[in-house]
Amino acid sequence: MPTTHPHAALAQADPPSKLHSLCPATGELVWEGERDSPRAVAVRVAAAREAFADWGRTPLSDRLAVVRAYGALLADRAAALARTIARETGKPLWEARQEVQSMTGKVELAIRAQAERAGVRDEATGFGHARLRHRPHGVMAVLGPYNFPGHVSNGHILPALLAGNAVVFKPSEETPATGALMAELWYEAGLPRDVLAVVQGGRDTGMALVDADIDGLLFTGSPSTGRALQRALVDRPHVILALELGGNNPLIAWDGDAAAAASIVVRSAFATTGQRCSCARRLIVPEGRFGDQLIDAVRVLAGRLRIGQWDEEPEPAMGPLISAAAARAAHHAVDLLQAAGARAIAPMAPVAGRADAFVTPGLYEVTGCMVSDQEIFAPVLQVTRVADFDAAIQAANATAFGLAAGLVSADAALWDRFLSRSRAGVVNWNRPTTGASGAMPFGGLGLSGNHRPSGYYAADYCAFPVASFEESVPIDQSSEIRGLAPLRD
């Protein structure tokens, strides 16, 4: 399991009554508010249930108007939202701006996905016509992560509301300000407040929401919490559950220009300070000259990554981890790696003169070591050397996870072999493992999820299909009844 994860809040101890959000780079207060009690959560869910009755019957054209108004506000308030995300997560401002752009772009993608995957379809039949419709589930609970507090949560909330559901949204307790600001934009766009309710807090609040009268639970976070949610819902099969649970993602770098390959590796491993579910965690290279050259090129390029506060100039490549606690957990995970025999090529270390949440990118040789199959949610990359390409594929698949995987090679035949044998939901060729698109599904196998991918396919779990066979007037069916005795005089 990961050392810390976007929804570690569900596994933490009972909290105090006040919730505070602090910038991990500076320690300054970003947001303060009350934590919602289990009773308050139940009240919000009940109100959402009442609001669903009207929202679910609202014409799609009216829902589309609200969704598009929200998209326009996202574009208009992009600077303020990006600044809030950057301060609260510590990610560089340029990256927070990219996150808001993804949120804005998601609006039309969600509309397109709803029409394509959850719309209406008619087919003429001999008796009339068959019609496929989709209906909303009811009240959907969304548990948001901290690494992309806007984009990932937005990817659940948008299709859920578009389908006609009401939503109760609990942001990560690390990023409550972003969640609160998103909700205010929805209200300004014309969405009734009880159709999207926000509850703030940590474990108690999250579990109260899971235990409430909900019809769906959409979660991004750790495998351990995902399993706990499955157990909590084992006797409630009517509650749809969509899980995205991270990955111990492999990247095979096999041939080509070492500098070009290294750039793909660095982008894969150290984007968002290693706090992406799709980051490469394991680098697999061939024994010999190319492997040596590539590892050295990765070490040099990673060493050039500027590390700094979200608003510094020149702009940093990496910010801090989400908190000092996350950094301590990452250091502990590295200690366990080294205890298992890992050798530091470039050690992950604190950054002199910076807050405790800052760390440098780490590169570790683990060839021949018995390291555990865990996701270290930090800028830590483990290197394994193998003798041939079959061994590379075997090493890539030697994980219980299955979210992302990648191959760096100019050989199309190797790509075909890798693609056909890879066990992952996102498999990239000569592109970073972090490369994804809102126009494509996003999800994985094994410990990475429960076969309900998000992204473009989020429309699938936000509505259920209804098949109807229809004729405009009743028609005598007697001739179709087999074995019918004739009328007697």
Q: Which residues are catalytic?
A: 244, 277
Residue in this structure with the two tokens 């050690």, named with its chain if needed? 347
d(CA 252, CA 389): 9
Please state, in angstroms and as integers, the Cα–Cα distance from residue 199 to each residue in 20, 27, 40, 204, 293, following that order.
Answer: 14, 24, 8, 11, 51
CA 76/CA 53 separation, integer angstroms: 31
Residue 372: CB atoms within 10 A of its CB come to 11
Helix axes 258-270, 289-303, angle to 10 degrees: 50
CA–CA separation, 211 and 214 (whole Å): 8
Nearest to 321 by CA among 360, 282, 353, 283: 360
Strand partners, 457: none
- The encoded tokens of residue 236 equal 């409630």
Beta strands 401-402; 445-446: pairing state: antiparallel
At residue 240, what are phi and psi to the nearest 5 degrees?
Answer: -70, 135
Q: Which of 437, 441, 435, 434 is nearest to 458 (CA)?
A: 441
Do you find a cis peptide bond into 314, omega within 30 degrees of 0? Answer: yes
Contact 297, 259 (CB under 8 A): yes
Alpha-carbon distances, residue 302 vs 158, 307, 323, 459 (angstroms): 36, 11, 22, 38
Rounded Cα distance between 291 and 283, Å, is 10
Sign, CA dihedral 371-375-378-379, equals: positive
DSSP string covering 98-155? HHHHHHHHHHHHHHHHHHHHSS-EEEE-SSSEEEEEEEE-SEEEEE--SSSTTHHHHH
Q: Name, in order, each residue with C-beta under 8 angstroms of 427's C-beta and a sequence gap of 6 or more.
A: 404, 405, 406, 407, 418, 419
- DSSP assignment string, 348-376: --BPTTS-TT-B--EEEE-TT--------
**384, containing H or E segment:** strand 380-386
Buried b (16+ CB within 10 A) or exposed e, 374-413: bbbbbbbbbbbbbeebeebbebbeebebbbbbbbbbeeee
